[in-house]
């Protein structure tokens, strides 16, 4: 029997070994031990490796070899690392940093399980060293010791320094200025008496194994809390040698023996783990282990046909889209205001209960039941449902009820006898489709204000239980519609237009009506609702594709006699072919700099097309190039087949728009083929394919697919163009630019209407272009010539179409590359590009924002990528509330001042709001509101917050340029200048903070601040100022106060806050020291290093979502709020008191302006040590006073500073 293949191990270890993180060392040791056991293992993402260990790095070549060999890797990563990025069997590892048992690791199978009962996960522990095991083999170190060392760990930056008493010690950290090698470090630790450790980790273990005493030095950046496990505290002291963390007897020999015993079972446990993981991986098929996203990095190394590469690229795109959509759906759920709007639409009579026709021919009874269930759960109940099925009803028709009619296989009623014939609108529904509760309301409300005959919406399709593929189809795309039915499973149709259709008993009638109405009335006949309102089944009904093909064929032949429809390899797609008018073309070629490229273009025309295809070729050359071009024309040997005519376009800077206008006016044919001189025609198919499209009289421009051969691989240089940020066109070419890639919903393989075309090659309707004024020579002379022309044509009712049936080779800007070799020319070109970009933004952004071809839920900078950071729920077909678009900060301020107030406005049905999702902690890239967002979403107010970064100010200017009338509200809750010296942003604030804020305010219409001093400070820069105090949202802050507190021997006193309060805490440093023997000090967020010896507990900050509960968990008896008396703090709010009040804690605070607001029931004291001690002792000595003060502060908060009491203030500040 052939032995089973050995599956490799991929171990994700992204942290540096130099950080001495125990879990990282364990991952490296696991890799080392697996290789020594004969099982290939590789590290992924490791910044450094240990040269003594067998830990090869994973590379694309290795991954490709494993994939081609049909192996399924075993991917291992820490439990805390989030989503797996590596292929194969997914195994999460609970390591030392997450485990209660340092030295042991617990695997968790994610994508598969071992299967064998004896291999349950709990029995698969690993004993992994968190240090170099070679230490255990060293001879016991000498007892002759002297001196001290320091282990600084990895200090966050130059502002973080060692304590003065440690600054002169030798630093054994690999991140030290003069780092030691591993053996040098062991030598130093083997002779030193004590190691002062600013971080935990493997080096602390090394020290103890080598007989060196260890003292943990508490600090705010690496040791917020001391390790808690017995093994980590044994033989270790806290802050000084006389404060051991563990009272057990200890010696280095005892520690070495205990550690060796822990690792004794390591080999046996490793073998058990190998057997389990190998079996589980072998049970997976390679396709299960290697997802499309995993193959992206190794794609160039895989020997495959272009079709196979294209398939993988499409799978990767689909996987990414489904993943983004899962996140998008969580943000797109309707809020209370949307429920109220729906109720008002129904209550006002704008929307009435409709008749629904449910088409179930070729569908199962379960499909019918699913759709009826979703209708029953809707907020608007149909007045009548007619089921068209090829099966009999499940019961006697009389028992179905008055509102349900069943048209079974025996036939159907006449049109005149159907319910709802007199309604203006009728709902057509494909069985198996599930609706949202609000779907009918939104569809009918959109129809009520529309002149369309068919209303459809975005939808999704279930690929599996976990994956749903969204179809944000966009507005009416007539050419795409003729090649596929993208309407989805529910449409609303004008009843009078639907009833005469011959196949109104089949759901294909919806497709027929869309084709027929759009052929007669154009895009206005179709109306798109840009929200996901239905969920389609994964498969078409039996016979549905054939029915739709027949419908498309019949409607195409009726609209364009002589046209044919050809089948396609793509499911549900077909290829229309219009009659070829056969008219001669004029070739326009701006040229002069590249005669070699020009000759190749002209020869391709002669070689691929018969005489008479071109009436002539007009060569458009600047005056400086006329002589060389005249020589070229004189030497041209194919004048009979392709006559050349040379036209002068003037002198000076090249003006592409002027050249084309000269050529268009001189052309003697209706259709003009415009080509850059660096393109070539590849075959005799392209021009007829483009020319046939002009059978449709509303087309002004048709563009081909531009391709280029890279070695043996043809690639797409220009696909369909979409309009995006700054009104620029964005070129969609798929994932890998493969010719065979299907792209987003097959768009790369289908002809379609587009927002613009690439300027290198296009066929244009001469009269249409000249009728809109030709190309803009003044504003878009060079780079945005075609973009501007395309928008003007569409504005005048013309269509632009792109087709992959025509392919043209493009060398890719050869002339521009030539010109840019001259630095002066390069600078001039860059300046011209910026001028044109500015013009496009100012002139066309509103138009682009109103284009419906491209969904507003797709990004404006990457074609057909779902925007998961800005998810907007409101509709443009009706506006029943003010609309607010916001950019919150990614901090607590963003929550308190933007997200929660906007949520409250929605909860009280006062506004529709939408906010950019702030980035998560540690993520540098952030989504910024831009001018296109304003154009697309058309808000009444735009909220921004502390817009003082370069990109924020530049973005505000761009918004102002494009939308001078937009109402911008700036939110500020801190001074950006006058920062105290201890503030981490002091230098920036003093140098630039004020100047930047003034710039931001000059670009804003209104300022909303949290305190009156802030309003007074900034009023001179923005006179329209509103003050809305901070308040707490009870959804986050309710129910946290403890009514009963048990007595304890030592009271818990504490503080919570961020790094900017360093100076404030130093005010009470002597108070903390004085009371430390009597109470337990609890700090959260930050703590000055000099106070760490006196702190019982330190808790790092958590996300805002977890912050209220975490704060409550501190379980304080007394809270303090020290604040320096300076201009910066005078402008701050009383938020700290509000948070403490939510906990019901009594408070002692500084007697400064923020804490006098609304006269809170707290003990305010001057910033004097004795005053602080007196107030604190007063509370410490009187439990009844503590309870009374805490209760009073809680009640004060409830009366004055709950968000629900300030909703009207926010409404006035933002919307008045």
Give the pLDDT confidence of 1093-1130 residue by residue, as tens digits: 898 888 988 888 999 999 999 999 999 999 999 999 99
pLDDT at 83 over 80: no
Please report where in the chains the tokens 């268009």 appear, as a residue. Answer: 664
Residue 142's pLDDT band (cuts 50, 70, 90): low
Query: What is the average pLDDT score of the chain?
Result: 92
Which of these, 5, 8, 19, lies nearest to 42 by C-alpha position? Answer: 8
How many helices (H) and strands (E) are present in the chain, helices listed first?
41, 46
Which residue has better confidence, 204 or 231?
204
Given a cut of 70, whether residue 116 has pLDDT beyond it is no
In degrees, to the nearest 5, what angle opens at C-alpha 1021 toward C-alphas 1020 and 1022? 95
Question: Is pLDDT at 889 greater than 90 in this prediction?
Answer: yes
- For the chain, give every domain's residue range: 9-129+265-295, 141-252, 337-561, 585-850, 883-1027, 1034-1200
812, pLDDT greater than 80? no
- Domain spanning 585-850: CATH superfamily: Spore Coat Polysaccharide Biosynthesis Protein SpsA; Chain A (3.90.550.10)
CA distances from 246 to 229, 243, 818 (A): 10, 9, 75
* Topology, domain 883-1027: Rossmann fold (3.40.50)
pLDDT at 140: 62
CATH of domain 337-561: 3.90.550.10
Beta bridge mates, 831: none
Residues 6+ apart with CB under 8 A from 536: 430, 432, 433, 459, 460, 461, 462, 488, 489
Pairing of strands 194-197, 148-151: parallel
| Percent of the chain with pLDDT strictly greater than 90 | 75
Per-residue pLDDT at 97 exceeds 70:
no
Pairing of strands 679-681, 799-810: antiparallel
Residue 376 has pLDDT above 90, yes or no: yes
Which helix H or strand E contains 849, and what residues bound it? helix 823-850
Of residues 141 and 4, which shows the higher confidence score? 4
CB 565 within 8 A of CB 596: no
Cα–Cα distance for residue pair 404/424, rounded to 1 Å: 20
Same fold, 883-1027 and 1034-1200: yes
Least confident of 171-180, 431-440, 864-873, 978-987: 978-987
Residue 510's CB is within 10 A of a number of other CB atoms, namely 29
Query: Contact at 8 Å (CB) between 760 and 678?
Result: yes
Instruction: State the average pLDDT over residues 211-223.
Output: 89
Residue 528: in which H helix or E strand, if any? strand 526-536
For 1034-1200, CATH number?
A: 3.40.50.2000
pLDDT at 694 over 90: yes
Residue, of 768 and 156, whose pLDDT is higher: 768
């Amino acid at each position: 029997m052939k032995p089973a293949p050995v599956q490799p191990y991929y171990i994700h270890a992204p942290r540096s070994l130099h950080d001495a993180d125990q879990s990282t060392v364990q991952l490296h040791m696991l890799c080392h031990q697996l290789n020594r056991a004969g099982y290939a293992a590789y590290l992924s993402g490791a910044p450094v490796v240990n040269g003594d260990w067998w830990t090869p790095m994973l590379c694309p070549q290795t991954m490709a070899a494993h994939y081609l060999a049909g192996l399924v890797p075993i991917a291992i990563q820490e439990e805390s690392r989030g989503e797996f990025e590596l292929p194969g069997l997914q195994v999460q590892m609970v390591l030392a940093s997450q485990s209660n048992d340092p030295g042991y690791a617990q695997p968790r199978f994610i994508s598969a399980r071992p299967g064998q009962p004896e291999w349950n996960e709990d029995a698969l522990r690993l004993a992994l060293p968190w240090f170099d095991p070679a230490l255990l083999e060293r001879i016991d170190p000498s007892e002759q010791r002297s001196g001290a060392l320091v282990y600084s760990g990895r200090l966050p930056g130059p502002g973080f320094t060692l304590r003065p008493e440690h600054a002169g010690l030798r630093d054994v950290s690999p991140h030290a200025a003069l780092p030691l090698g591993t053996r040098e470090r062991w030598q130093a630790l083997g002779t030193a008496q004590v190691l002062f450790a600013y971080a935990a980790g493997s080096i602390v273990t090394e020290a103890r194994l080598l007989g060196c005493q260890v003292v943990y030095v508490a600090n705010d950046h690496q040791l917020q809390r001391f390790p808690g496990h017995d093994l980590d505290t044994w033989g270790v002291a806290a802050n000084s040698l006389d404060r051991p963390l563990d009272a057990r007897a200890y010696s280095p020999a005892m520690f070495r023996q205990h550690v060796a015993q822990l690792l004794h079972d390591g080999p046996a446990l490793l073998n058990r783990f190998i057997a389990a993981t190998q079996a589980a991986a072998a049970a997976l098929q390679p396709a299960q282990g290697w997802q499309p996203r995993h193959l992206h990095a190794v794609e160039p190394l895989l020997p495959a046909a272009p079709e196979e590469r294209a398939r993988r690229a499409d799978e990767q795109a689909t996987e990414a889209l489904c993943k983004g959509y899962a996140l998008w759906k969580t943000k797109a759920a309707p809020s209370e205001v949307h429920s109220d709007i729906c109720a008002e639409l129904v209550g006002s009579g704008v929307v009435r209960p409709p008749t629904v026709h449910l088409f179930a021919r070729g569908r199962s009874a379960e499909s019918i039941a699913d759709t009826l269930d979703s209708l029953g759960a809707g907020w608007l109940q149909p007045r009548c449902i007619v089921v068209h099925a090829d099966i009999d009803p499940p019961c006697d028709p009389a028992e179905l009820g008055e509102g349900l009619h069943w048209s079974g296989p025996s036939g159907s009623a006449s049109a005149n006898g159907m319910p709802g014939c007199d309604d203006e609108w009728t709902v057509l529904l494909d069985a198996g489709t599930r609706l949202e509760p609000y779907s009918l309301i939104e569809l009918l409300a959109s129809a009520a204000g529309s002149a369309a005959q068919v209303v459809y919406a975005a939808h999704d399709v279930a690929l599996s239980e976990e994956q749903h593929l969204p179809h944000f189809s966009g507005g009416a795309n007539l050419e795409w519609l003729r090649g596929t039915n993208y309407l989805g499973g529910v449409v609303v149709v004008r009843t009078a237009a639907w009833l005469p259709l011959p196949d109104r008993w089949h759901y294909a009638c919806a497709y027929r009506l869309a084709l027929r109405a759009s052929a007669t009335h154009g895009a206005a006949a179709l109306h798109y609702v840009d929200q996901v309102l239905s969920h389609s089944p994964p498969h078409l009904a039996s016979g549905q594709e054939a029915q739709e093909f027949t419908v498309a064929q019949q409607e195409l032949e009726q609209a364009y006699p002589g046209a044919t429809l050809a089948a396609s390899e793509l499911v549900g797609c077909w290829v229309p072919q219009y009659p070829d008018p056969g008219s001669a073309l004029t070739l326009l070629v701006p040229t002069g700099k590249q005669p070699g490229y020009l000759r190749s273009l002209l020869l391709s025309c002669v070689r691929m097309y018969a005489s008479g295809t071109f009436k002539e070729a007009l060569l458009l050359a600047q005056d400086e190039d006329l002589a060389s071009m005249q020589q070229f024309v004189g030497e041209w040997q194919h004048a009979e087949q392709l006559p050349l005519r040379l036209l002068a376009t003037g002198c000076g800077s090249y003006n592409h728009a002027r050249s084309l206008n000269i050529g268009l006016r001189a052309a003697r044919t209706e259709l003009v083929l415009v080509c850059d001189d660096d393109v070539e025609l590849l075959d005799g198919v392209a021009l007829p394919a483009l020319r046939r499209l002009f059978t449709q009289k509303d087309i002004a421009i048709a563009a081909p697919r531009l391709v280029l051969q890279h070695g043996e691989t043809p690639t797409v240089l220009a696909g369909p163009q979409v309009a995006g940020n700054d009104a620029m066109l964005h070129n969609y070419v798929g994932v890998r630019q493969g010719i065979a890639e299907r792209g987003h919903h097959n768009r790369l393989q289908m002809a379609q209407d587009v927002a613009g075309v690439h300027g290198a090659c296009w066929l244009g309707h001469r009269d249409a272009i000249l009728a809109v004024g030709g190309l803009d020579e003044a504003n878009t002379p060079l780079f945005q010539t075609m973009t501007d022309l395309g928008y003007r044509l569409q504005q005048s009712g013309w269509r632009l179409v792109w087709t992959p049936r025509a392919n043209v080779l493009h060398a890719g800007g050869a002339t521009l590359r030539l010109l840019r070799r001259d630095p002066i020319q390069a600078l001039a070109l860059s300046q011209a590009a910026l001028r044109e970009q500015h013009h496009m933004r100012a002139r066309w952004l509103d138009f682009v924002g109103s284009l419906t071809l491209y969904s507003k839920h797709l990004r404006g900078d990457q074609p057909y990528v779902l925007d998961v950071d800005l998810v907007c729920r409101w509709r443009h077909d009706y506006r029943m509330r003010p609309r607010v678009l916001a950019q919150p900060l990614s901090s607590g301020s963003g929550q308190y001042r933007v997200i929660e107030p906007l949520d409250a406005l929605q909860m009280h049905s006062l506004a529709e709001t939408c906010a950019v999702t702030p980035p998560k902690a540690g993520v540098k890239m952030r989504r910024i509101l831009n001018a296109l967002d304003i154009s697309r979403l058309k808000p009444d107010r735009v909220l921004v917050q502390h817009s003082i970064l370069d990109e924020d100010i530049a973005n505000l200017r761009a918004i102002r340029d494009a939308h001078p009338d937009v109402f911008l509200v700036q939110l500020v809750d801190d001074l950006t200048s006058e920062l105290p010296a201890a503030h981490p942003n002091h230098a920036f604030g003093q140098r630039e903070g004020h100047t930047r804020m003034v710039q931001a305010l000059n670009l804003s219409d209104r300022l909303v601040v949290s305190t009156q001093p802030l309003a007074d400070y900034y009023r001179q820069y923005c006179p329209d100022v509103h003050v809305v105090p901070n308040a707490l949202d009870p959804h986050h802050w309710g129910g946290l106060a403890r009514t009963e507190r048990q007595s304890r021997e030592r009271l818990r006193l504490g503080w919570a806050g961020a790094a900017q309060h360093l100076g404030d805490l130093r005010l009470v440093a002597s108070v903390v020291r004085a009371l430390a023997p009597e109470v337990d000090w609890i700090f959260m967020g930050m703590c000055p290093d000099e106070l760490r010896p006196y702190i019982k507990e330190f808790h790092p900050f958590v996300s805002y979502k977890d912050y209220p509960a975490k704060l409550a968990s501190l379980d304080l008896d007394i809270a303090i709020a020290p604040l320096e008396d300076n201009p910066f703090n005078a402008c701050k709010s009383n938020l700290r008191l509000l948070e403490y009040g939510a906990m019901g804690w009594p408070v002692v605070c500084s007697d400064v302006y923020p804490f006098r607001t609304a006269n809170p029931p707290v003990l305010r004291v001057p910033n004097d040590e004795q005053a602080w001690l007196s107030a604190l002792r007063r509370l410490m000595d009187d439990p009844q006073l503590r309870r009374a003060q805490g209760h009073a502060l809680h009640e004060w908060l409830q009366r004055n500073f709950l968000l629900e009491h300030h909703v009207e203030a926010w409404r006035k500040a933002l919307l008045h």
